[in-house]
């Protein structure tokens, strides 16, 4: 293990086997290694943004066992917002200081591709300076399949409609056997990576996620991270890596062995160590819980996402995020944990420090 620790300290890249071996280190050693990397990059800064999550429809053509949000199975309460409803939400959020709208939906086969694209245009026309983060790679793949469009055509439509960056959703776990069980018929791992590569080649940026804590193994997590590292070497287009903790309620994935807090913190730390070319590691408080996300700042994470205001997808599965966090509470929590809250924009330009 001393050789492995030395490799990390010497900033040598680790392979699959070495990445798996990191899990065998004790929690505090692993945390110290990740924290050292974080501090060299960002000191005591902890980033967040003032954002609003909007989930315009829960009608979905795909069936994922881990999903509690889709109305196609367990949830009988289908909804699809009108553009007027969405614009009213955006108006209210901008008035409260939001600088980003994060728009992710189910894969609605009824609404039509124009329904997706036209709302982005309307938001951008009304609020030209508002950052529109929208359309996961899974949504891009769905629109491509359902409307017989190429990925290039969908991505170009997104840019023409005002989408500024892509969120990282839909990645789940890249191992195809696991995907077959979790989300059969959804975008494949190679397709997910291809879509993000095409987006990056258009000069645009995105995030990347990993859903963990369900049926995957540690080896699957390491493989997932290394595939992202390989693509980042090619494109440099990922802003942040976001390990999402699986939410257990109201879905069809029968999981009994949930990850401990220590396992989650180890996964954050390993992500910071392995992903030397992805700038930011986000402890997404929505899935990790606020308390664990604050601790994760000492395990390599430099970003906590944002105020969110309202969130529907993770909260449907048990996350305590349905109404977001007030700005003053968010700032106070970061300060009380010993870090400096820094408001950022969607591409990590620093806007305001609350030191």
Taking residues 309-334, report their average pLDDT: 63
Residue 274 structural domain? 2-346
The pTM of the full predicted model, rounded to 2 decimals, is 0.90
Domain membership flag for residue 353 = no
Q: What is the pLDDT of residues 73-87, one digit of tens each?
A: 555 678 889 999 999
Helix (H) or strand (E) holding 227: helix 218-235
Q: What pLDDT does residue 121 have?
A: 98
**pLDDT over 50 (residue 340):** yes
Query: 299 in a domain, yes or no?
Result: yes
CATH number at residue 77: 3.20.20.70
The predicted model gives 325-345 an average pLDDT of 92
Q: Cβ neighbours of residue 257 under 8 Å, at least 6 residues apart?
A: none
Residues of the chain with pLDDT > 90, as a percent, come to 71
210 occurs within a structural domain = yes
In sequence order, which residues have a C-beta less than 8 Å from that of residue 349 and are 6 or more positions away? Answer: none
pLDDT at 72: 58
Extended beta strands in the chain, E state: 45-49, 51-54, 100-103, 131-134, 165-166, 205-212, 238-245, 280-281, 303-306, 340-344, 350-353
Is residue 252 in some structural domain? yes
Within-domain flag for 258: yes
Domain count, the chain: 1
Any domain includes 351: no
Is residue 354 a part of any domain in this protein? no
Residue 352 covered by a domain: no
Of 326 and 140, the one with more pLDDT = 140
């Amino acid at each position: 293990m001393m050789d492995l620790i030395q490799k990390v300290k010497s900033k040598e890249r680790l392979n699959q086997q070495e990445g798996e071996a990191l899990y065998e280190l004790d929690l505090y050693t692993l945390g110290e290694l990740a924290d050292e990397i974080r501090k060299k990059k960002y000191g005591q800064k902890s980033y967040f943004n003032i954002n609003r999550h909007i989930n315009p429809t829960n009608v979905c053509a795909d069936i994922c066992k881990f999903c509690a949000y889709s109305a196609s199975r367990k949830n009988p309460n289908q909804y699809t917002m009108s553009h007027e409803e969405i614009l009213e939400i955006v108006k209210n959020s901008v008035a409260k200081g939001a600088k980003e709208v994060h728009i992710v939906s189910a894969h609605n086969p009824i609404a039509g591709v124009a329904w997706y694209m036209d709302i982005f245009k309307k938001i951008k026309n009304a609020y030209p300076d508002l950052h529109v983060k929208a359309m996961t790679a899974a949504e891009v793949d769905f629109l491509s399949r359902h409307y017989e469009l190429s990925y290039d055509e969908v991505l170009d439509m997104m840019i023409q409609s005002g989408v500024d960056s892509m969120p990282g959703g839909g990645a789940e776990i890249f191992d195809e056997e696991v995907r077959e069980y979790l989300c059969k018929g959804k975008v494949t791992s190679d397709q997910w990576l291809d879509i993000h590569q095409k987006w990056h080649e258009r000069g645009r940026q995105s995030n990347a996620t990993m859903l963990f804590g369900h049926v995957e193994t540690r080896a699957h997590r390491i493989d997932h991270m290394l595939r992202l590292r390989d693509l980042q070497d090619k494109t440099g287009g990922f802003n942040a890596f976001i390990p999402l903790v699986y939410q257990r309620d109201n879905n069809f994935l029968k999981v009994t062995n949930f990850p401990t807090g220590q396992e989650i913190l180890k996964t954050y730390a390993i992500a910071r160590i392995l992903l030397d070319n992805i700038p930011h590691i986000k402890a997404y408080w929505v899935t990790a819980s606020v308390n664990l996300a604050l601790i994760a700042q000492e395990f390599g994470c430099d970003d906590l996402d944002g105020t969110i205001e309202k969130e529907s997808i993770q909260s449907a599965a048990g996350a305590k995020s349905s109404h977001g966090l007030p700005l003053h509470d968010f700032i106070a929590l970061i300060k009380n944990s010993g870090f400096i809250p820094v408001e950022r924009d969607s591409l990590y330009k620093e806007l305001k420090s609350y030191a």
